[in-house]
Structure 1
Amino acid sequence: MSNTQDIINATEDYVKALLTGEGSGHDWWHIYRVWHNAKAIAAHEQADLFVVELAALLHDVGDHKFHNGDETVGPRMAQQWLESLKVAPENIASICLIIKELSYKGAGTSSAMSSLEGCIVQDADRLDAIGAIGIARTFAYGGHKNREMYNPEIMPELHDTFEAYKASTAPTINHFYEKLLLLKDRMHTRTAKEIAQQRHQFMESFLAQFYAEWDALR
């Protein structure tokens, strides 16, 4: 395909067919929100919108969490799809690098992005991990992985390596301290930083209410 909008439309259809009905919070509607958040952020940046849109659409087609921790699946699937549409090799390389670098890797590790386009897509993805939707997705994923909702005897752990972070089976509440509450200060763009402030505050309010209800049981 030579028309950029046709490529985006075809990619939308491909990802929608692949992820519709997925139950862990990584479904088509997650992709849809990240895609639209990325476009909204990119409107304020001097970025390649074509690369941003395709990376946002394809960022979870082969998430390592659902492929035994294999971080190569997502970029490989994206590359195969984009090559089938005859996307320019330089754009494929940029998009696949974004997908490779995108994931949160633990509190004590770096998640640096190599491009502005990557920063935008990472911000958009992280915005969907916080706030009310982020809370809902977190518990959906915890249930999907058969994790306890909360266990006061298991303390959060600030992982120093990606391998340790990937191996964690901690209760869902711990994930707020191991990732979600840290994301506000890891946003790259001004737009994302502004949105993250309110969503962060909502998570803090949720946790305060959660603990108030828990403590009332004593």
Structure 2
Amino acid sequence: MTTSPASAFSPHEELAAALLPHATEGDDGSHDLAHLLRVFRNAMRIHAAEGGDGRLLAAAVLLHDCVAVEKSSPLRAQASRLASEKAAGILRAMGWEELRISAVAHAITAHSFSANIAPETLEARILQDADRLDAIGMMGAARCFYIAGRMSSGLYDPSDPLAKERPLDDSRFAIDHFQTKLLKLADGFQTAAGRALAQERHQRLEQVLELFLDEI
């Protein structure tokens, strides 16, 4: 018997069944159903410690990447705004109240690192933390190299892998992204539960970089 993907989003299976058909676009394996499920599990773990509206949070998680914009696109910084607008339309069609739609839209808009918008609600803070947890640790390293492959970037500069004599450029070298973004993320977590999880994953990320440099 085949299990529905929505069943993995317990206790919000019904909501997931309604929203998953709208939740992803394109073929980006770093922003796919598996990513949504990891972010959902992160969010529910933080929600259990911090509180907040679980159904609203689940909707924000499910729709936070509902518009796909490649990392190399000039529209990348607008991706979360575009996703929030699409999400609002989806929830409006489902009969959600406008206040709750606005709360979901804000959480989606504020989750993005590129957007640089401060989360103003607990649900927005949880979503931002849950999404950023998937950008550090072992999964963050895996996604970094996956995205570098999509962008046809090299793994590292063989003559200067740590960029001691050149500017960092993560559009050319995957390993540069550790310094330009990934190793900075743990300092910006919004919730106590998120910060605790982030410190553990940050240490894993540092270990990945250490082992990578040792092998080259």
Bin of the TM-score, shorter chain as denominator length:
0.7 to 0.9
Tell me the amino acid that sits aligned with residue 168 of structure 2: P
The RMSD of aligned alpha carbons is 2.3
CA distance in 2, matches of 1:186, 1:92: 26
CA distance in 1, matches of 2:13, 2:36: 18
Contact 2:22 2:66 in 1 (8 A): no
Partner of 1:178: 180
CA distance in 2, matches of 1:171, 1:101: 28
Partner of 1:209: 211
| Residue 78 of structure 1: how far off its partner (Å) | 0.8
Q: 2:127 aligns with which of 105, 115, 121?
A: 121
CA distance in 2, matches of 1:209, 1:192: 26
Partner of 1:91: 100
1:188-199 to 2 correspondences below 5 Å = 188-199=190-201
1:54-203 to 2 correspondences below 5 Å = 54-65=59-70, 68-69=74-75, 70-71=78-79, 72-105=81-114, 110-151=116-157, 152=160, 154-156=166-168, 169-203=171-205
| Residue 121 of structure 1: how far off its partner (Å) | 0.4
Partner of 1:164: none
Partner of 1:51: 56
Q: 2:45 aligns with which of 40, 48, 53?
A: 40
CA distance in 2, matches of 1:24, 1:13: 16
Aligned residue pair count: 195
Q: 2:30 aligns with which of 13, 25, 30?
A: 25
What are the ranges of 5 or more consecutive residues in structure 2 without an aligned counterpart?
1-11
Structure 1 ranges of 4+ moved more than 4 A: none
Contact 2:155 2:175 in 1 (8 A): yes
Partner of 1:9: 17
Percentage of matched positions with identical amino acids: 31
